[in-house]
Amino acid sequence: MKKITLTENLFRRANTGTQPKWHIGNTWYKADDFNHEGLAETIVSEILKKSNLPLLMNQWMPNKEHIAFATYSTEMIEYSGKQVPGCKSENFLKDNDQLIESIKLLRQNDLENMAKTYAESIKNVDLSIKEFVETITKLTGLKDFDQYLTAMFELDQITLNPDRHFGNIAVLQRGGEFLYAPVFDNGRAFALNDKLWDRYYPAEAVIEHVDALPFCDGFNLQTKKLEELSKNTYFRTSFGKDDMKRVLDAAEVAYADDILYRAEQVFDIQMERNLQYFIGPERSMKNQELLQYNDRLP
């Protein structure tokens, strides 16, 4: 893991978000605040590397040059006389690309009241999701937006990402057409927020205190409604527990053992709860255990 030094005359600090961020050359750097974002981003990035998301993007955008997801890696960052862990990622925007957040897209089309309704209170989850998907599809012409959003929310359900607000659901505008944006900004995943662990809850109890966004506070409910709308499940990954150990071992130079253990516990629980999105030997072993258990039932 390479340590980078950012000095006042070397970096340009970004103004968006709550974390310190810098854009140097073609690379973005983000320093952690209290959520251990660099670790979360790195883990999600590794999950995506072993996923079918690039294949799905090829189906949704045939013959289009695209990047399926932002790739993050853990970095130690030194600035203002202190060293903090964080992460870096290559800029996924091309020179003529514009990233447009869905909430900005709604406002540009005089639909700000819809955005406010989503942000403040949603009483009918089915109707809200359907209306949002239909509106973005109409504004952009992206016919498979329901599938794209479903895959994104399936990922969020696995990783327990509570930060999928309407600024993190976006599209790309390239020239005169719209494209699906890479999946990005997963820094709140895996319940790594220090405040959640203040009372030393077991991991299962911590997970129950994590609420989803943006249509309701239940990850399972949001995902279920999207899968019903798009009539399928989409996201799959072969990332398993051995992969997780490899990622955590590499992150030891930046993160304390208790933080790494939190991430491992949450991932293990989330994997067990969401086996339908996993492929490979671990899911096969679990299914075999269930078959053997069922065979023993009277």
Average pLDDT taken over every residue of the chain: 88
Give residues with Cβ within 8 angstroms of 30, minimum separation 6: 19, 20, 21, 37, 38, 41, 86, 87, 88, 89, 187
What contacts 169, CB < 8 A, 6 or more positions away? 101, 102, 149, 152, 214
195 neighbors 34 (Cβ within 8 angstroms): yes
- Sheet containing 82-90: order of strands: 3-5, 72-79, 82-90, 27-31, 21-24
Alpha carbons 158 and 232: distance in angstroms, whole number = 17
Q: Given a cut of 90, is residue 192 above it in pLDDT?
A: yes
The alpha helices in the chain, defined as continuous H runs, are 37-49, 53-60, 102-108, 112-120, 125-140, 145-159, 203-208, 219-230, 241-250, 257-273, 281-296
- The proportion of the chain whose per-residue pLDDT surpasses 90, expressed as a percent, equals 71
Residue 204's pLDDT band (cuts 50, 70, 90): very high
Q: Is there a contact between 85 and 259 (Cβ–Cβ < 8 Å)?
A: no
- 97-115 residue pLDDT tens: 999 999 999 999 988 776 6
CB neighbourhood size of 78 (10 A): 14
pLDDT digits (tens, 9 = 90+) for 110-167: 887 766 655 455 668 888 899 999 999 999 999 999 999 999 999 999 999 999 999 9
Spatial distance between the Cα atoms of 64 and 58, rounded to a whole number of angstroms: 8
Supply angle C-alpha 27, 28, 32, rounded to 5. Answer: 145
Compute the average pLDDT of residues 75-102. 91
Q: CB–CB of 46/158 below 8 Å?
A: no
234-287 pLDDT, tens digit per residue, is 999 999 999 999 999 999 999 999 999 999 999 999 999 999 999 987 665 555
Under 8 Å between Cβ of 240 and 280 = yes
Angle CA 189–73–93, to nearest 5? 90
Question: What spatial distance separates the first Cα and last Cα of the chain, rounded to whole Å?
Answer: 54
